[in-house]
Amino acid sequence: MRPLALVAASLLAFSVAAQDTKKEIQRYQQMIGEGSPVELFELEGETLWKKAQGPKQVSLAKCDLGLGPGVLKGAYAKLPRYFRDADRVMDLETRLVHCMQTLQGRSAEDVLRRVFGNEDRPSELEYLSAYIAAQSRGVTMSPGTSHPKEKQALELGRQLFFHRAGPWDFSCASCHGEEDKRIRMQDLPVLANPRDARPVVATWPAYRVSNSQFKTMQWRLNDCYRQMRMPEPIFASETTVALNLFLTATGKGEPYRGPGTKR
Amino acid sequence: MNPLRRTLLGAASALLLKPFAALAAWHKEAFGAKSAPDALKSLGIANAAPSQDVLIEAPQIAENGAVVPVEITSNVKGTTSILVLIDKNPFPLAGKFDFTEGALPFVKVNLKMGETSDVRVVAEAGGKHYFATREIKVTIGGCGG
Amino acid sequence: MAAGPMKMRATLGGGYTEVRVLMTHPMETGQRKDADGKLVPLHFIQNLTVKVNGRTVIEGQISQAVSRNPVFSFRLRGGAKGDKIEVTWLDNQGETNKTDTAVA
């Protein structure tokens, strides 16, 4: 075979192999999704939602996640959004922490003590996130983007996404800003592109099989900052909520299919 | 509650729990074997024949070895038992499922795999054994987080 | 310590009843170190029993090589709406849990 034809043939074989790998990984993702323990977290979350806690010995049942007190169906799909009673944009975890304090009378110190759990003991917020997100299955993701504070947060989130900082001069865009990048076996989604943001936004929060832990968006953002060697963002801060809104808004329009199950 | 009644109830429930625990057999030798051939030998399985009727449905690549989904069907007529082994695991035998006529010889299970390895399924039917293998590549993905 | 939640679904279709059961269990291999660096002892489900209307149809023996928070799918011959399916597990430390559901 002539040299050029040989090169062409081997390049074709290489790209076919790459396509096969991608297909097999998608099959893995599909199969773990079909046999996932994530529902167990949803069940525990339901129990916690209904549990009387705090000095006021009241459950979270009247917590308003944006669609009215106690309305859970479709509420996650509308987050992050502006809340008048707090006068700020909030994501799910921020709103839960708010309800724990205002409804149940719990202190900030109490509710923020252990926001991220582990495989032996998931956190309350992780269980609650699983339960509440599940109530938005099938609902179109449509976070708030019209209120002035939502617009502000969206713009802040966009700037944060592209802002380079830290010892490595990384931004979110360093890994998630260019096509055809991957880390080991994971293709990196270009999160500023709706095409890639949509499936991501539709499958978080998620159960991570690699460490048997249920992970939320606040955790995901926190961990990205850690991986960029940047200072740890404050839980439920303006920064994290703005980034979450930017990502969710970029991925809006997708029917929610979580909570997800991931590697 | 009356203390005597409580004691009696406690003793009675302890007795009720015990039989299940006592009767539930767990093949220590087979599960403790360090190679697939040894595990099979300890179960008295000598000559398993390769069979196209033992089906293993699994992804060729697992993004993580902690959870590898495997779906097993035995179309060998009269299958009463299915064994699942992971050849390269420190203790290859992962499961033994015995079926009465009330169940199909089918199981889907999530397995832990230490490294890329063959998954081996052995079906027992009419005192004979049939097997199939399937290689699953195990990778570690992402940023390690 | 009370065992964590267990959930099961049994649906009729295609000539068999598909049973999917989710179990909360650490399935510790005895190789993992906890946050303080201590080895977590071997703790895993050893036995499973699947019953239909009180009759055992599947008995499983499994090892610590089954993933944490195991999820199993089984298929039962025939079946009818309302049949009672019960799944029980027993682990190496003598802990046990069970759940039942009606075929839908």
- Chain C residues near residue A43 by CB distance under 8 angstroms: 5, 7
Number of H helices and number of E strands within chain C?
0, 7
Angstrom distance (rounded) from CA B3 to CA A88: 58
- Pick among C22, C27, C33, C74 to test the A interface (most A CBs inside 10 A): C22
- Sign of the dihedral defined by the CA atoms of residues A238, A241, A244, A250, in that order: negative
pLDDT of residue B1: 58
B18-53: pLDDT as tens digits = 445 445 799 999 999 999 999 999 999 989 999 999
Sorted by where each starts, the structural domains of chain C and their CATH numbers stand as: 6-102 (2.60.40.10)
In chain A, residues 37-56 whose CB comes closer than 8 Å to chain C: 37, 39-40, 43-44
Mean pLDDT (chain B) is 88
CATH number at residue B134: 2.60.40.2470
Selecting from B96, B102, B107 the residue whose C-beta is nearest the C-beta of C52 gives B102
Q: What is the mean pLDDT of residues C40-47?
A: 97
Q: What architecture (CATH level 2) is domain A37-262?
A: Orthogonal Bundle (1.10)
Q: Is residue B19 in some structural domain?
A: no
What is the distance in angstroms between the Cα of C81 and the nearest Cα belonging to chain A?
23
A224 belongs to the catalytic site? yes
Side-chain half-sphere of B134: how many Cα atoms within 13 Å?
21
Give the chain A residue whose CA is nearest to the CA of C69: A37
Give me A67's structure tokens: 């669609």
Q: Which residues of C touch A119 (CB under 8 A)?
A: 26, 68
Asked if the Cβ–Cβ distance from A44 to C69 is below 8 Å, we say: no
Checking B32-36 for CB contacts under 8 A at 24+ apart, the result is B32/B91, B33/B91, B33/B92, B33/B93, B34/B90, B34/B91, B34/B92, B35/B92, B36/B85, B36/B87, B36/B92, B36/B93, B36/B120
Q: So what's the pLDDT on residue B141? A: 67
Q: What is the mean pLDDT of chain C?
A: 94
Cβ atoms of C97 and C82 closer than 8 Å: no
8-state DSSP, A78: G
Q: What is the DSSP letter of A77?
A: G
User: In this complex, do B110 and A32 lie within 8 Å of one another by their Cβ atoms?
Assistant: yes
pLDDT of the residue at A13: 72
pLDDT at C32 over 70: yes
Q: How many CB pairs under 8 A join B and C?
A: 105
CA A246 to CA A243: how far, in whole Å?
A: 5
Q: How confident is the model at residue B144 (pLDDT cuts 50, 70, 90)?
A: very low
Examine the pLDDT at A134 and tell me if it is beyond 50: yes
Q: How far apart are CA A205 and CA A216, in angstroms?
A: 4
Mutate to test the interface with A, among B57, B63, B134 (most CBs of A within 10 A): B63
**Residue A259 and residue A76: Cα distance in Å, rounded?**
11
- Chain-chain contact of B95 with C63 (C-beta, under 8 angstroms): yes
The mean per-residue pLDDT over the stretch B72-100 comes to 98
Cross-chain Cβ contact B69/A29 below 8 Å: no
What pLDDT score was predicted for residue B145?
A: 43
What is the interface pTM, i.e. ipTM, of the complex? Answer: 0.95
Residue C103 confidence (pLDDT) above 50: yes
Q: CB-side exposure of A114: number of CA atoms within 13 Å?
A: 7
User: Would you call B66 and A209 a contact, using CB atoms and an 8 Å cutoff?
Assistant: yes
The answer to whether the CB atoms of B95 and C62 lie below 8 A apart is yes
User: Contact A190/A178 with Cβ under 8 angstroms?
Assistant: yes
**pLDDT of amino acid C1:** 45
Separation of alpha carbons A257 and B31, rounded Å: 39
**Residue C75: Cβ within 10 Å count:** 20
**More reliable by pLDDT, A204 or B15:** A204
Does position A130 have pLDDT exceeding 60, yes or no?
A: yes
**Domain limits, chain A:** 37-262
Query: For residue B121, is it within any domain?
Result: yes
Q: What is the DSSP letter of A120?
A: S
**Burial class of residue A59 in the structure, from the number of CB atoms within 10 Å of its CB (0-12 exposed, 13-18 middle, 19+ buried):** middle
Q: What is the mean pLDDT of residues B66-70?
A: 97
C 20-59: CB under 8 A from A: 20, 22-24, 26, 34-35
What is residue B2's predicted lDDT score, i.e. its pLDDT? 67
**Any idea which residue has 């075929």 for tokens?**
C103
Whether residue B143 is contained in a domain is answered as no
Q: Structurally, how many domains does chain B consist of?
A: 1
Smallest Cα–Cα separation from A45: which of A157, A136, A129, A117? A129
Residues B50-63, mean pLDDT to the nearest whole number? 97
The answer, for B34 touching chain A at a CB cutoff of 8 Å, is: no
Q: Which candidate in A63, A99, A175, A224 is catalytic?
A: A224
Q: Which chains touch C (3 or more CB pairs under 8 A)?
A: A, B
Inter-chain residue contact A223 with B145, CB threshold 8 Å: yes
- Closest Cα in chain A, distance from residue C74 (Å): 12
Q: Residue B16: is its pLDDT beyond 60?
A: no
Mutate to test the interface with C, among B13, B18, B93, B100 (most CBs of C within 10 A): B100
Q: Is the pLDDT of residue B113 over 70?
A: yes
Pair A184, B142: CB distance under 8 Å: yes
CB distance A157 to A150 below 8 Å:
no
Query: How buried is C103 (Cβ within 10 angstroms: 0-12 exposed, 13-18 middle, 19+ buried)?
Result: buried
Query: Is residue B25 domain-resident?
Result: no
For C28-77, list the strands marked E by DSSP. 45-52, 55-62, 71-77
Q: Answer yes or no: is B11 within a domain.
A: no
pTM: 0.90
* Whether pLDDT at B7 is above 70: no
Separation of alpha carbons C47 and C12, rounded Å: 25
Instruction: Tell which residue, C103, C100, C101, has the closest CA to residue C81.
Output: C103
CB contact under 8 Å between B103 and C29, yes or no, is: no
User: How big is the A-B interface in CB pairs under 8 Å?
Assistant: 62
pLDDT at C85: 98
Q: Is residue B2 part of a domain?
A: no
Flag whether B18 is in a domain: no
When CB atoms are compared, the residue of B20, B68, B97 closest to C90 is B20
Q: pLDDT for A44-101, tens place per residue?
A: 999 999 999 999 999 999 999 999 999 999 999 999 999 999 999 999 999 999 999 9
Q: End-to-end CA distance of chain B: give it in Å, rounded.
A: 52
Which residues 6+ apart lie within 8 Å of B83 measured at CB?
A: B40, B43, B45, B93, B95, B96, B97, B121, B122, B123, B124
Confidence of residue B13 (pLDDT cuts 50, 70, 90): low
Q: What pLDDT is stored for residue B100 in this prediction?
A: 96
Q: Are A191 and A224 in contact (CB under 8 A)?
A: no
Residue B124 is part of which domain span?
31-138
Q: Closest chain A residue to B57 measured between Cα atoms?
A: A31
- Taking all residues of chain A, what is their mean pLDDT, rounded to a whole number? 95
Asked whether residue B9 is assigned to any structural domain, the reply reads no
